Structure 1
Amino acid sequence: MIHTFRKARESDLIDIIRLLADDDIGQGREVVANPVDGRYQTAFAAIDADKNQLLAVAVDQKHHVVGCLQLSFIPGLSRTGTWRGQIESVRIAREARGTGLGTEFIEWAVETCRARGCKLVQLTSDKSRADSIRFYEKLGFTASHEGLKRSL
């Protein structure tokens, strides 16, 4: 199956939110509603206006959104001023899992980071998502650091 990867449009928001909510963790923190909750619209506008952010979608041949991810391009002083690509909010529609789409989408994201001058790509995955962690490890990502978060 052939997929297209592109910058997300505001009209994609409902599909993206459905993808984010389609697991045990996401069900408890996302709000799937039509019309879309205004908080998502505000966040989308901020992401869309920021040249160092890219919200991307994977679209199938029928023009349905079947995947999403967000790339953040982060400048830094460490590693001699290295830019980093941060991959977050990766989701693949249930019906498209196991088809190779996830691998293709992550490789597209890595190449997008490389094209932007990033020398390092990083991501996080909830520790309870063992399958996701194995998937990322197969793609060459290593658990080289311990990540910590603090809710505000």
Structure 2
Amino acid sequence: MLADDALGARRETPDELGPYERAFTRIDGDPQQHLMVAELPADPDGDDAAVRTVGTLHLTIIPGLSRQGATRSLIEAVRVHADARGTGLGTRLVEWAVEESRRQGCSLVQLTSDVTRVDAHRFYERLGFEASHLGFKMAL
């Protein structure tokens, strides 16, 4: 799903799992990191217990000094498999992240979205997020 669009296809390498496995190990060992995975039966008409991943979300809890020492959360890696889009799954993933942020004592939830992902921007605005900042990145 990370490489399932033009942007992701340029920056992801799904045939080389090593970097993703190492990243997962780091994330899994950090209690401030929360990965949500949505699964569906691989064969909804069969008796097989196999499942397939159809959605992901990564939530990071960030303690801070600004805003009077507020804790915030960062939503990243929101992905829904192409054949599961339009089912409300993305909404449920983000709603889970907002509720988990509240439970963790966060006073702010933030996310970034590439400027080319116009549909995603409308999705986030529909869920109550506001475009409020200009972001910068530096590749290292």
Same fold (TM over 0.5): yes
Give, in whole Å, the separation in 2 of the partners of 1:80 and 1:61.
Answer: 45
Q: What's 2:46 paired with?
A: none
Flag structure 1 segments of 5+ consecutive residues without an equivalent: 1-18
Residue 25 of structure 1 is matched in structure 2 by 7
Is the CA contact (8 Å cut-off) linking 2:37 and 2:57 kept in structure 1? yes
TM-score scaled by length of structure 1: 0.83
| 1:51 aligned residue | 31
CA distance in 2, matches of 1:114, 1:71: 12
What's the CA shift string for 1:74-103, capped at 9, x where partnerless? Answer: 000111111111000110000110111111
Shift of residue 50 of structure 1?
A: 0.5
Number of equivalences: 132
Deviates more, 1:36-45 or 1:142-151: 36-45
- SS of the residue aligned with 2:107? strand
Post-superposition offset of 1:60: 2.1
Q: Aligned-pair RMSD on alpha carbons?
A: 1.1
For structure 2, which runs of at least 5 residues remain unmatched after alignment?
Answer: 43-50
Separation (CA, whole Å) in 2 of partners of 1:31 and 1:101:
25
Task: Report the structure number with the largest CA radius of gyration.
Answer: 2
Identity %: 55
SS of match in other structure, 1:118 = coil
The answer on 1:69 being equivalent to 2:57 is: yes
In 2, Cα distance between equivalents of 1:94 and 1:52: 29
TM-score in terms of structure 2 length: 0.90
Aligned partner (choices 109, 125, 133) of residue 121 of structure 1: 109
The aligned amino acid for 2:54 is V
Distance in 2, Cα, partners of 1:51 & 1:104: 22
